[in-house]
């Protein structure tokens, strides 16, 4: 079945440093989505990428979708303590209604 690999599993950064998490799918995706889960909370939708090579920005967050539509990345510039949480990517396979989640990257920010 479809697999979505996400690395790293954990990342500890000093406040102000950058952070990147990577997502790789075993199959071509129709779109990829990113979610953030704060400690004790539920996943919240951040963004969706649909087009090959697409890049989207939300303030300090930059999301990229690979040319082959099989990989994606989330980059946070100058992390803040409010960025703490687990970031999940989720891939939607072409022709399917099912989202497959990566294992998530847990981000800790040291003040």
**Contacting positions for another protein (CB under 8 A):** 30-31, 33, 35, 41-45, 48, 88, 90, 92, 97-104, 106
Instruction: Tell me the closest approach of the beta carbon of residue 33 to another protein, in angstroms.
Output: 6
Residue closer to another protein, measured from CB, 18 or 57 = 57
Residue closer to another protein, measured from CB, 56 or 77 = 56
Residues 81 and 32: beta-carbon distance below 8 Å: no
Buried b vs exposed e over 83-100: b needs ≥16 C-beta within 10 Å? bebbbbbbbbbeeeeebb
Residue closer to another protein, measured from CB, 2 or 73 = 2
* CA separation for the pair 98, 74 (Å, rounded): 22
């Amino acid at each position: 079945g479809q697999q979505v690999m996400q690395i790293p599993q954990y990342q500890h950064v000093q406040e102000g440093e950058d952070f990147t998490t990577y997502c790789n799918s075993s199959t071509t995706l129709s779109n990829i989505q990113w979610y953030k889960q704060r400690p004790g909370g539920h996943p919240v939708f951040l963004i969706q990428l649909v087009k090959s090579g697409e890049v989207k920005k939300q303030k300090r967050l930059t999301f990229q979708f690979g040319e082959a539509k099989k990989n994606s990345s989330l980059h946070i510039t100058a992390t803040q303590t409010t960025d703490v949480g687990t970031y999940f990517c989720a891939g939607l396979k072409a022709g399917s209604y099912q989202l497959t989640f990566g294992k998530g990257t847990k981000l800790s920010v040291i003040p």
